[in-house]
A and B are shown apart, each in its own frame.
Chain A
Amino acid sequence: MHVVVFTRSTPDTAARVVAKDDGSVSWGDAATVVNPWDEYALEEGLVQAKNGGGKSTVIVIGPEMHTEALKHSLALGFDQAIRIEDAALDERDSLAYATAAAGAVNKLGDVDLVICGKESVDVGTDQHTYQTARKLGWTMLSYVSKILEVDYNAKTIKVERMLEQGKQIVTSKLPAVISVMKGINEPRYPSFMGIRKASKAVIPVWSLGDLGVTLPAARVKVAGFKNLPVREVQTMMITGTPEEQAAALVEQLLKDKVL
């Protein structure tokens, strides 16, 4: 039994992010953190590996800056961490990343379950998971809010998913790729011993050549980033007794035609 979790680093959610004149992005000297959505994926990976009596691997696709997310994962208790980097991936899209991700899972060979976070808080694409599943040809179960049963012998999985209209219970086959929601678990903190061990770990870096994959042609191009148009809000403070405040607010909202 082998569980793989995909994660990456993102700028701290409190960081002041600005687009520079050349269209690139800067978050000053704000720290990077593990993509907040992935904290739940990492925790679930550890839990599932333990329950199944198997192995846990964490993978990042991206440059050096993401090493920190891998060290964090090792400190939490992952057995192994791998980083994938290749010049051919620079400025490429989710299709290329997913192709690499599927290549890595195939190279590991014995993987039953891949777990991802719901989305990357920075780019917010929510694509990696589905595209990795399709490149692997595996079952995809998104927005998992509970794993109800996993049977590694029968290769079946039963989960609860959170959809717009409510909760869905689905059974499916392993191997599978799942994305997990906040609330599926309470992420643990790394232990002191774990942090020490992780700080010494040497993380292997695999190239596309190591994975034996070639990328499909680039089909999208990000031209660049720009800052939001300045939002001119003139705050109108409404005072008085609660009844007076309520009456004045409703008056304004009717005038603004939002009611």
Chain B
Amino acid sequence: MSVFVWIETFKGKAVNTSWEALGAGRTLADGLNVPLVALVFGENASEVAKQAGQNGANKAIVSDDATLKEFRLKPYAALLTKLVNEQQPKVVLAVGTSRGRELLAASAADTDSGLLSEVVELNLDGETIKVVRPAYAGKLLSEATGIGGTTFITIRGRAFQPNAVNEGASVEVTSTAPALSEDQIVSKVEAFEEEVGSVNLGDAAIIVSGGRGMANNPKEAPAGVTGDAAAVWKAQDGFETILKPLAGVLGAALGASRAAVDAGYIPYAHQVGQTGKTVTPDLYIACGISGAIQHQAGMRGSKVIVAINKDAESPIFKMARYGLTGDLYQIVPALTAELKKRLGK
């Protein structure tokens, strides 16, 4: 028996949150008295396996094959399913990123195992695994247990702490062959357009978000740009010249309300909320966002919320630790300047 943890990699490097899965897995492995086994597939797997050892894994199973170079569900799931069938782990854990979710769901279906997703708390009651996960867009918590067999668990990013790093730790690495050959894999990745330089909302410690209020930019839109187009221009300019510099000094990711996304101020990838991303940063700064219930659904787990809004009656102030009433176009630049001064940047 063992606890498996899938270490997600991108271009041969472990993604930031993967070590959190080892942190969550450590508690289970200790409680069940079984080894914590890191699974690393694809490019540079052995190197990442070594890091997994430093981050608390006792063993690692690696498969570094051309068919696994970049994540594709079919070959990855086939390999995970093969390993689960062979070794019957008690638990398979991963962070619930887009890849983690689909990989674990697929392999749980292949092996008729239980799957608990987006878990924020993990406990052992004897050998029984008990979890807590958010439901109804974070309005409630749901308590669930795994029954027998292997339980697959995806954890929410930033909900668990990684283990303390032990540089000297060694890890027992075994290598395994992929389960499928290239001609059995029907999906071909033709291109990848990476969004470089932007911080991922999912693992951001700080998020600066803009809403419909971004359209009230005092700058004049260029001649000939009028009506809705002028509002879009103003808001886009605001995101670029006002919010981005603030995000820059803070090393923050850029978020947005749905109103801002739907109006075309910023791409959908930045949307926070019920039909966008759920985020749990240490600090969330909402600028020109009213705080509708569907927006709250995505950001209420933030540790400290700062609201900047010109309307003192906005619901966002009810959930904010710090409320600043006024024009974001005056407050945000002042804040950026102050941070530069205080953080010495």
Contact = CB atoms under 8 A, between A and B. Distances in A.
Interface of A: 11, 13-14, 17-19, 23, 25, 36-37, 93-95, 98, 121-127, 129-131, 133-135, 139-143, 158, 162-173, 181-183, 216-228, 231, 233-239, 242-243, 245-247, 249-250, 252-254, 256, 258-259
B144 A130 contact: no
User: Of residues B10, B112, B305, which shows the largest number of chain A Cβ atoms within 10 Å of its Cβ?
Assistant: B112
Contacts of B130: 223
B115 A127 contact: yes
A235 B193 contact: no
Interface in B115-168: 115-118, 130, 134-149, 151
Contacts of A124: 117-118, 134-137
Contacts, number: 262
Given A19-B141, A121-B274, 13 more contacts: A25-B136, A125-B117, A130-B109, A143-B98, A164-B97, A169-B191, A219-B113, A221-B144, A224-B143, A227-B140, A238-B322, A238-B323, A238-B324
Contacts of A226: 140-143
B319 interface: yes
Contacts of B189: 168-170
Given A25-B140, A238-B324, A131 B106 contact: yes
A249 B188 contact: no
B272 interface: no
B106 A121 contact: no
A219 B193 contact: no
A122 B276 CA distance: 14
B74 A139 contact: yes
A259 B319 CA distance: 20
A233 B135 contact: no
A224 B334 contact: no
Given A13-B274, A17-B136, A249 B324 contact: yes
A96 B269 CA distance: 32
Contacts of B195: 165-167
Contacts of A93: 114-115
A246 to B, nearest CB: 4
B176 interface: no
Nearest to B134: A124
A258 B320 contact: no
B85 interface: no
Interface stretch (B210-218, B220-228, B231-239, B296-304): B296-304
A93 B313 CA distance: 42
Nearest to B293: A14
Nearest to B278: A124
Interface stretch (B35-43, B58-66, B336-344): B336-344
B202 interface: yes
A235 B106 contact: no
Contacts of B187: 139, 141, 170-173
Given A233-B320, A235-B318, A236-B321, A164 B202 contact: yes
B242 to A, nearest CB: 12
Nearest to A238: B324
Contact of A11 (B77, B136, B141, B145): B136
Contact of B140 (A19, A165, A236): A19
B339 A250 contact: yes
Contacts of A254: 342
A161 to B, nearest CB: 9
Interface string B66-94: 00000001100100000000000000000
B102 interface: yes
B331 A223 contact: no
B335 A235 contact: no
Contact of A223 (B99, B145, B293, B306): B145
A141 B193 CA distance: 17
B330 interface: yes
The 10 A-B pairs at the shortest CB distance, nearest first, are namely A219-B114, A220-B114, A130-B105, A134-B109, A131-B109, A216-B112, A246-B334, A242-B334, A246-B338, A173-B186
A219 B343 contact: no
Contact of B137 (A13, A94, A169, A250): A13
User: Of residues A11, A127, A256, which shows the largest number of chain B Cβ atoms within 10 Å of its Cβ?
Assistant: A127
